[in-house]
Structure 1
Amino acid sequence: MGTLGVVKHWSLVSARPQPTGSRHATLVVVLSVLAGIAVVGRVLSADPIAYGVPVWPFADTAEQAESRVMTSVASAARTSAANEGNLKKIPESVTATDVEVLRTRARHDGLAVWLLLRLEVPAVGTRCREVVVSGATPVEVNSRHVTC
């Protein structure tokens, strides 16, 4: 008779995906992203001016006004460094009606100047920032909020 009498039936078997496993993974990813966004938001709102994001929701009106004052300080420091060719005259150049230099310290090679500034921020009052002006060209201006 031969082999025609015995016919085998082959079928492809595939497992059905478990819906709880993929939902669980999606939930973990979404929660991780939300936690990451919350951490970044908290860090940025700690000192939005230093991180360069003086905008809502990270900065309030007072911090936006302080950012405007710090923008004028950074501009004066960069202009002074460009005109003088060094950083020695920066403490005098950043002093204005709303900015008072409380303390100055220069690095021995003249490539960095640390300043403690008291800022009179409109509609807020007095705030203090520690400012570091460093570099030759271009000049970098970085700051952080400190208590007065």
Structure 2
Amino acid sequence: MRIEAASSAADFARHTAEPANIAASTQGAVISTQRLTALALSGRLPLTIRHEAFHTAQPAGIPRWLAEGLARTFSGEAASDPQGPTGLSRLSSDALSEELLGRNPTRLAAAYVEAARRAGQLVKRRGWKEVIKELSKL
């Protein structure tokens, strides 16, 4: 695993082709982040690194909703999610994955919360060991 920190939000967007407002992006074993100082000052550095480290270890090809939901659960991000309905609970897993890829800013935050809720319920029912074991079969 390697971490590459950008020099600015614009540099991050240019290097990753991701929106400049996200904290990090992972491709294979390479984690690309915003400036580490910016993440640290915002209090997001530890959660971001744990989230992205999970992505480097997850099997390739798992559904986007599950990848993001498990990473948010593993990192501890989901612990501070707002309570109450997301408005997305009736979406199929495929549709939730599309929401996470669509980058619709009005629904993106709710999609991440919904993904973490679903993944968290899965981990609660089956445990991390069983969930990871099943993922490795995909």
> When the two structures are superposed, what TM-score results if normalisation uses the length of structure 2?
0.31
Q: By percentage of residues, which structure has more strand?
A: 1
Return the structure number with greater relative CO, CA threshold 8 A, min gap 6. Answer: 2
Q: By percentage of residues, which structure has more helix?
A: 2
